[in-house]
Amino acid sequence: MEFSAGQIADLLQGKVIGNADVKVNTVSKIEEGKPGSLAFLANPKYTKYIYDTKADIVLVNKDFIPEKKISATLIKVDDAYKAFASLLEIYQQYKNNKTGISESAFMEKTATAGKNTYIGAGVYIGEHTHIADNCKIYPNTYIGDNVKIGEGTVIFSGVNIYSETVIGENCILHSGVVVGSDGFGFAPQNSAEFKKIPQIGNVIIEDRAEIGANTSIDRATIGSTVIRKGVKLDNLVQIAHNVEIGENTVIASQTGVSGSTKIGKNCMIGGQVGFAGHLTIGDNVRIGAQSGVHKDLPDNVIVQGTPVTGYREWYRIAAVLQKLPEIYRKIQKI
């Protein structure tokens, strides 16, 4: 699929400097530009590459003034980085614009699918499940009974969605995601064995959430596990039963959130963070990677470490820890 500089400028509301008819069919880094590709220049550190790049089109900020001749066609925009991201999103929409239901997909008679929906080979859709308009369900995906999936949601191959799950509009679930598996609920018995507690709740994922590959979101014991609007979960994240993640919170890979913990909105959580159960985490909280969260946290704090503490205090602790061997040797001599 080819786009001309003129077409791209129209999409991005930019201005063409050079040949508006030149066409590209791929993208590249500016330092690795090749004929037929589009690159972008946002960081001044990479300005030197624009004079020799082989890319045919380069997005630049509108205040960019070249110091010497440039062979590439330029498209001047307000923000080259944001414009490039928008262009990739448009390209992705064109690329994934599939429709139709594969002959090898199986939908129960009571299941329904909306207009312009794609359902790939080997997909199973259970009883009374509804797939809204413009959804993409990629091959070998399992969707259980009584599931509702909102308009424009994309579910990549190998996803498993258990019964009663509700997924909002324009969500993305990447390969290997499991939504609605049983929460980790077991009652200890006198015999030292554990009896499984039935998990009869569900999972609700609101609009515009994105769930990374191989992430698991457990169904609630009673009620719902809730992922609010705009949440972004990285790959390999574990969300336990009855957890609630607030709007626009982002969580990096290998983080685990224990049961019934509530995390506020607009939080940023680093990789490999562990949360104890039944905690309340405020809004706008920042938690550094590999932290252990064992207590409630108020709004607007930045924390780090295990057990978690204020990040400035943690840095002082870390500095002392590095000196412990030296301190130990001095104590031995005494």
DSSP classification of residue 197: P
In three-state secondary structure terms, 328 is helix
253 to 4, 136, 228: CA distances (angstroms): 38, 25, 18
Q: Is 278 a catalytic residue?
A: no
Q: Pick the closest to residue 53 from 76, 37, 75 (CA basis).
A: 37
Q: Cβ distance 143 to 122 under 8 Å?
A: no
Contact residues for 205 (Cβ-Cβ < 8 A; gap 6+) = 165, 166, 167, 168, 171, 179, 211, 217, 227
Q: Cβ distance 203 to 227 under 8 Å?
A: yes
Q: How many Cα atoms occupy the beta-carbon half-sphere of 146 within 13 Å? A: 8
In three-state secondary structure terms, 62 is coil
Contact residues for 9 (Cβ-Cβ < 8 A; gap 6+) = 15, 16, 20, 75
* Chain-centre distance for alpha carbon 130: 24
- Considering the candidates 130, 241, 278, 294, report the single residue annotated as catalytic: 241
Amino acid at 175: S
Preceding amide of 298 cis, omega within 30: no
What angle (nearest 5°) sits at the alpha carbon of residue 205, between those of residues 202 and 208? 170
Alpha-carbon span 94 to 2, nearest angstrom: 11
| Exposed / middle / buried, residue 147 (Cβ in 10 Å: 0-12, 13-18, 19+) | buried
Alpha-carbon span 34 to 25, nearest angstrom: 11
Residues labelled catalytic: 241
